[in-house]
């Protein structure tokens, strides 16, 4: 017999796995699943109740209540009423609440629309800030149809777009201020250059937007910009913006060394954005310099280093083409005579005089008024045939090898010399 008082092999309550010799007395295997033995459940006090795997997931759950009664299904919380009448009542209550909110919103909108305290009485209720070049008279027509309108029904986005369509306004902000005020904040465009079209002088900003201003107002503002030509109102906004971008880059590069070289420029022709033609005053004479589309500072420094020597050798010098590496093309005035001489520079320079022949290497669109272009001296050894008519003479100054691979071409047959542009506009 086994001593009942011997608890050496008896499992403790906190033991998860009883010894092997005690396990067959407490469980038995049925259909591959382990269940408590009925003998232990019936005759042995303290043995666990019977368990079932009703869900089939391998988890044992009590089959009955403690006292053998049927198992009570778990209660569910938060679901709708089980009866049809309860569901109908709940739906009606939801509809009543939704209808109440809708009616309240409509009554509030009707009140705000009809209440005279929220109406814009007149132009005195419209306040604007940031006005310098734009007058209040230019601003008020945008809000003409809003006088007498309820402030809540003011189309803010539409009014903002209408304000920004005014040339001088770059950005506008429109706000409603209760109960009956409109506040407008304006950011005006800043001009960066003068423009000239025929005899008309105007302004242009960094985006290429043309700005109108009277000559007297220009004189009062004391603007000091170069005159930019080649920007036409008929051009697209993208085209004007691209030309002004070349102008701004040219001015920034010329001032990169801190010497304010841009102040020496009087006029810039941007008809061809790939060739910025700059008018530079030199001792009472205006010299037209071709700066191309890049390397502006280096070309300007080369121009300033040699212009005095070039003018001394060629008193009738008209233009200088600086677009070619280590080589420049000098153009003379119509009927001027030049003689062979050295231009000086970094390397010995060979000066040649020739009358322009047929156009062979001129790039299209680069010189709009040219009728013929001279063949480059680097590729033509034989002299070009003499022209019967008086045309501007050119001199090619070779200061080294032409490394960019382009052929220099000088303009000829121009009808008039560009007129010097004033850096300021005086009031008439």
Q: What is the DSSP string of 218-284?
A: HHHHT----EEES--TTS-HHHHHHHHHHHHHHHHHHTTTSS-GGGG--EEE-SSTTS-EEEEEETT
* pLDDT the model gives residue 334: 73
According to the model, what pLDDT value does residue 13 have?
52
Which pLDDT score, from 0 to 100, does residue 137 have? Answer: 94
Matching CATH topology for 118-188 and 191-357+390-398?
no
Q: What pLDDT does residue 34 have?
A: 52
List the domain boundaries for the chain.
Answer: 118-188, 191-357+390-398
d(CA 235, CA 237): 7
Which pLDDT does position 401 carry in this prediction? 36
The pLDDT score that the predictor gives to residue 87 is 83
The 3-state DSSP class for residue 165 equals coil
Q: What pLDDT, on a 0 to 100 scale, did the predictor assign at position 378?
A: 35
Mean pLDDT, the chain cut into blocks of 10 residues (428 residues total): 54 56 51 51 52 64 55 58 81 89 82 82 94 94 92 93 96 94 96 91 95 92 93 93 96 94 93 95 92 94 94 92 90 60 37 32 32 34 35 49 41 32 38
User: What pLDDT, on a 0 to 100 scale, did the predictor assign at position 322?
Assistant: 95
> What's the pLDDT score for residue 172?
97
Angle at 43 between CA 37 and CA 44, to 5 degrees: 80
Fold of 118-188: Ubiquitin-like (UB roll) (3.10.20)
Alpha-carbon separation of residue 417 from 75, 106, 313, 382, 414 (angstroms): 102, 74, 20, 30, 7
Give the tokens for residue 135.
Answer: 């007058």
pTM given for the model: 0.59
- Tokens 């939801």 belong to residue: 94
Cβ-based neighbours of 172, under 8 Å, separated by 6 or more: 160, 163, 164, 184, 185, 186, 187
Q: Class assignment of domain 191-357+390-398? A: alpha beta
């Amino acid at each position: 017999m086994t001593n009942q008082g011997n608890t050496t092999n008896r499992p403790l309550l906190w033991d998860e796995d009883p010894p092997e010799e005690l396990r067959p007395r407490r469980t038995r295997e049925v259909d591959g699943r382990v269940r408590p033995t009925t003998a232990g459940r019936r005759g042995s006090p303290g043995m666990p109740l019977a368990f079932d795997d009703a869900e089939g997931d391998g988890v044992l759950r009590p089959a009955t209540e403690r006292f053998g009664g049927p198992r009570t299904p778990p209660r569910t919380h938060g679901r709708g009423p089980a009866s049809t009448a309860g569901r109908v009542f709940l739906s009606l209550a939801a509809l009543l609440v939704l209808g109440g909110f809708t009616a309240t919103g409509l009554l509030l909108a009707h009140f705000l629309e009809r209440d005279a305290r929220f109406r814009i009485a007149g132009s005195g209720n419209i306040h604007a800030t940031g006005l310098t070049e734009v007058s209040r008279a230019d601003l008020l027509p945008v809000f003409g149809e809003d006088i007498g309108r309820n402030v809540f029904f003011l189309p803010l986005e539409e009014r903002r777009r209408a304000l920004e369509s005014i040339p001088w306004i770059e950005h506008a902000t429109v706000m409603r201020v209760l109960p009956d005020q409109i506040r407008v904040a304006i950011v005006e465009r800043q001009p960066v250059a003068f423009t000239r079209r025929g005899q008309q002088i105007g302004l242009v900003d960094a985006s290429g937007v043309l700005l109108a201003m009277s000559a007297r107002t220009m004189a009062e503002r004391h603007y000091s910009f170069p005159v930019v030509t080649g920007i036409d109102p008929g051009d697209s906004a993208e085209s004007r913006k691209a030309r002004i971008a070349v102008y701004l880059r040219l001015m920034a590069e010329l001032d990169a060394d801190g010497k304010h070289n841009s102040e020496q420029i009087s006029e810039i022709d941007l008809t061809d954005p790939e060739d910025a033609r700059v008018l530079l005053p030199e001792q009472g004479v205006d010299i037209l310099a071709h700066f191309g589309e890049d390397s502006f500072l280096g070309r300007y420094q080369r121009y300033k280093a040699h212009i005095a020597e070039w003018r001394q050798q060629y008193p009738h010098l008209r233009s200088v083409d600086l677009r070619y590496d280590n080589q420049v093309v000098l153009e003379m005035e119509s009927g001027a005579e030049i003689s062979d001489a050295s231009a000086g520079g970094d390397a010995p320079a060979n000066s040649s005089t020739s009358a322009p022949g047929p156009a062979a290497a001129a790039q299209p669109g680069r010189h709009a008024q040219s009728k013929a272009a001279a063949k480059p001296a680097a590729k033509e050894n034989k002299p070009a045939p003499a022209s019967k008519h008086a045309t501007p003479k050119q001199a090619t100054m070779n200061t080294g090898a032409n490394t960019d691979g382009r052929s220099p071409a000088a303009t000829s047959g121009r009808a008039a010399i560009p007129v010097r542009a004033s850096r300021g506009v005086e009031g008439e």
